[in-house]
C-alpha cells in the first residue's frame, strides 16, 4: 500500500470548513456532477485539502453500474479527486473571466477498494508540482481507513 497523504479517520466525521455553496464559488460542476460536496480540511500554504463525497442511495450511477451490487465507477472517484484538485488550485491560480481549471492527464492511477451507496468517500489532494498554469496533484480517496483510489492528476487553466 502507498504512503497515505493523511489519516482518513481524522476526517470521516469532521465538520465542514467549506460547504457545497462555498465549493461551487470556486469550481463550476453542478447537479449530478457536483461530486465534491464539502471540504473538511484546507491548508492553502501547503496546497493540501481533504474533501468529502457521500455516495447517495439514489446517485446517478447506482441504478446501472452493476445492478444488484452497485459500485461507484472508478471514473467517478477520479472526477471527485479532480474537483478537489481544482478547488485547491483556485487559491493559487484564481481563474480569470471565462477560464477554468480542467483535466489535462492522469498518471499512476490505481483502484484499491470499492465504494458503495451509503459510503462516505474522503478525498485528499496535495500539490506535487506547479508551473505557470499547470499543476500536478497526488490524490487519494478512502472509505473508513481503507484506501480505495490513488493517482496523480494533472490539470491546466483552460
Residues forming the active site? 65
Q: In which element (H, E) is residue 140 found?
A: strand 134-143
User: At a CB cut-off of 8 Å and minimum separation 6, what does 69 contact?
Assistant: none
Alpha helices in the chain (DSSP H): 20-24, 74-89
Give the angle subtended at the CA of 30 by the CAs of 28 and 32, to the nearest 5°.
140
User: At a CB cut-off of 8 Å and minimum separation 6, what does 71 contact?
Assistant: 65, 114, 115, 116
Could you tell me if 124 and 139 are in contact, meaning their C-beta atoms sit under 8 angstroms apart? yes
The C-alpha atoms of residue 71 and residue 66 are separated, in whole angstroms, by 7
Amino acid at each position: 500500500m502507498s504512503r497515505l497523504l493523511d489519516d482518513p479517520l481524522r476526517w470521516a466525521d469532521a465538520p465542514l470548513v467549506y460547504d457545497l455553496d462555498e465549493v461551487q464559488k470556486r469550481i463550476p460542476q453542478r447537479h449530478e456532477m457536483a461530486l465534491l460536496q464539502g471540504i473538511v480540511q484546507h491548508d492553502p500554504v501547503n496546497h493540501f485539502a481533504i474533501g468529502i463525497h457521500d455516495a447517495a442511495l439514489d446517485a446517478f450511477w447506482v441504478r446501472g453500474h452493476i445492478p444488484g451490487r452497485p459500485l461507484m465507477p472508478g471514473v467517478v472517484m477520479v472526477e471527485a479527486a479532480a474537483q478537489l484538485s481544482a478547488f485547491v488550485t483556485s487559491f493559487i491560480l484564481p481563474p480569470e473571466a471565462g477560464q477554468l481549471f480542467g483535466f489535462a492527464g492522469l498518471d499512476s492511477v490505481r483502484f484499491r477498494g470499492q465504494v458503495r451507496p451509503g459510503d462516505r468517500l474522503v478525498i485528499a489532494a496535495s500539490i506535487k508540482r506547479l508551473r505557470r498554469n499547470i499543476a500536478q496533484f497526488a490524490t487519494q480517496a478512502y472509505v473508513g481507513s481503507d484506501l480505495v483510489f490513488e493517482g496523480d492528476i494533472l490539470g491546466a487553466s483552460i
